[in-house]
Amino acid sequence: MPKQMKLEFVRNRLPVCYRHQRFFRWFMIAISFMIVVYSIYFMIRFVSSETSTIFKLLPLIIAFVGLESVLRKITSLNSVTFEKDELILGFIAKRAIHIPYENITGLLLYRKITFYFGIEYLDNKGNPKNFLTHASFPHTMEIILNLADMAPHAKIPEKMQSVVDYLKEGAKNNVRQGS
């Protein structure tokens, strides 16, 4: 039997922050960075003009993959914080995005090879913006539930609305059982 998700509304206990596990996130960044450094060391120390082409290219490819991994991890979504009046999307190497709940115009969940979760909102100047992230972020279902609760005027596609309704029912059942 699958493990039952425990979903909760966060409205009464703000601020609430969801994030990747810090130790694991920084450990993976350090490993990727060490791969880049070792590939550069290997190229300097062991690659010469007599080395075969494959052994000249392989360290470059490995360094590129390691660097791409580091950059992806430090520029992707790291935390989602529900504050009293706004949602804060935090990153390691980028400025945080502050979105007032009344500026959220829509929520998206779609599949394009993998699942993505999106927030449509208006920035401070009134321009429409769209933020997308992988739906594999920790507690994505609880985040979707609470965004639908905190920004009730946001447009939600019909299929996603049925998911939100299901999540709300599950959260209400958790509240009843916990009382």
- Start-to-end CA distance of the chain, whole Å, equals 25
pTM of the model: 0.82
Which tokens is 155 given? 């447009």
- Residue 63: CB partners within 8 Å, gap ≥ 6? 35, 36, 39, 40, 43
Looking only at the bridges linking them, the beta strands covering 97-100 and 104-112 are unpaired
CA distance linking residue 39 with residue 143, whole number of Å: 39
Walk along the chain (179 residues) and give the pLDDT tens digit of each residue: 455 667 778 888 888 999 989 899 999 999 999 999 999 999 999 888 888 888 889 999 999 999 999 999 999 999 999 998 999 999 999 999 999 999 999 998 888 888 888 999 998 888 999 999 888 888 888 888 888 888 888 898 888 888 888 888 877 776 555 54
- Residue 70: CB partners within 8 Å, gap ≥ 6? 29, 32, 33, 36
Domain boundaries along the sequence of the chain: 22-74, 101-178
Cβ atoms of residues 39 and 66 within 8 Å: yes
